Amino acid sequence: EYVLTRDGLTIYNDAKSTNTLATTTAIKAFRDSKEELHLILGGKLRNESDQVLPDLLPFEHQITTIFTIGDVTQRLANELA
């Protein structure tokens, strides 16, 4: 869902991406974009074994920055480091 564009940054809200499959599907929507892609990932841990890195690696050339938020902030930061 488009939110706004300000100072050259276009923001989309993808609150429906509650798992890595949904997130990677959303990223694919920007595959032809020349703009930098910044992700905000986080929330609550659903499964202790959940990992995002394997699903995000194919998009490493598109993703400029990943911000981690919520209960899983430190776990995601450790995994993505």
CB-based contacts of 37, cutoff 8 Å, min separation 6: 27, 30, 59, 62, 63, 64
Higher pLDDT, 47 or 39: 39
Rounded mean pLDDT, 43-71: 86
C-alpha closest to that of 24 among 34, 37, 11, 36: 37
Rounded mean pLDDT, 59-68: 92
Q: Which pLDDT does position 15 carry in this prediction?
A: 82
Q: Which pLDDT does position 68 carry in this prediction?
A: 92
pLDDT at position 16 over 90: no
Q: Which pLDDT does position 49 carry in this prediction?
A: 65
Q: How confident is the model at residue 27 (pLDDT cuts 50, 70, 90)?
A: very high
